[in-house]
Structure 1
């Protein structure tokens, strides 16, 4: 699809029995030649990347829903969410429990306990589609952050139970390899001369440490970021404090992440001092993780 074809897309489909707080709404794009989608729902929830997604809004009001097709064509539509009716039969809502917090990449079990349930649709807030059709299922959350878990039973989309949980980022394990010597009684190649060393080739890629990496701690990084915010340090100078081929990931208070380059330009644009920074280093003294005590939306 070329740019002209893409922007002939004028709208996307919205299907729901009603537009009320907590009820599932189906958003879809059936345009031809589309190959990528990004859905923004205007309520600070995660982006969805499928042609057809289900979403629910937790508060009443107007939301600007935006779809970007093939990274070029943008379609927007205002969705008005009405207050939730109190007349709904509470006994028809699916009954299940969720833990408050779970660990990333660990299996979590979910069980429906609704009387008379014969069919199930579990959604766990990551794939944008139905994740399980079973009464009892397990799921592994692959990304950290807040997740919305919803369950529909007996195709009753009017009575949907929605619950939230938080996925805690997994900690990176540092595996120490112990060196040991093997007692070999006889070495048949002991007296065989070594081959002459090969000349070093120019195309061999080496991990290069920045010249300023030694001694960089969280306090020093805060001072460097203050210089960035004041416009006194450019990106090239900033990189001198990191390992060239092992740049760190930046994790924010709400568990969202960004690249080092994105964070640099966000700090530079915002112009505010960055406080309460913590870092994690590897065995080579390379900074691998930068933890920021503010939410992602504070910078983006």
Structure 2
């Protein structure tokens, strides 16, 4: 019986040649890709600080990306921009929250959330009346306001407590009778209008002076027997104004971070607020209630980090309560490959 034929005699030698060529091409392709591979670098999207408005030309800049790479910008709308430059401009036509996505070299992505709001109306300065006055006032204490409008010859003042004209001169002095926010309005020459909001607070309860020491009489008067007890005199004392507790900026930021993570609630701010649970908060340029703020913070996606968090408050100097609160929160996404 004949010995088994060798593999080389059974398989056509051209098969081995084809396999060798395919292996060589694969190794060459892998080596080329490995040699030209460039790992993703962290890219940051930069945009101007402050409020963003509808119709405004907003500039976006990619920071940390080498010049010459291909960048694709997505502004959360139906419009796409592919440019080699690191700086692009975009105009939003509607108010809302937009997720800006920057893709580098079809691979590396960076995210930034922005808020666009309605642009304020354009004010004709020729129709504006300018005047000076305090930001805060005390009930029962007179405060003064003065018009500084050029060419003014006729004035009408309203101080927000009635519908009647309160003064008709360039300088006006007024005494507020009730606490709260008041809108001071000035009409100059019948066509120029100026407005200013001030906070009027109740005065502190006056402290009672200590009684003067009694002088000893030089004449000794014998004590008389008192048949009926004397009723003690009830002093009329006004209750002291409530002093609100102090809260630091770091503690407020910690509460906000806790709300994002789900471990805190906006109710923790209520003991420090003048208006309590009825106070409105300015969050990223929008005024909202505490419950709306809580929902907005909980809506921050878990996959994102907070890039920047800033809290600014205004306090009542008499009782330390917070009159107003402004929160600016910027998110930063994790780039993925």
Query: Into which bin does the TM-score normalised by the smaller protein fall?
Result: 0.3 to 0.5
Q: By percentage of residues, which structure has more helix?
A: 2
Q: Work out which of the two has the higher radius of gyration on C-alpha atoms and give 1 or 2.
A: 2
User: TM-score, normalized by length of structure 1?
Assistant: 0.37
Q: By percentage of residues, which structure has more strand?
A: 2
User: TM-score, normalized by length of structure 2?
Assistant: 0.33
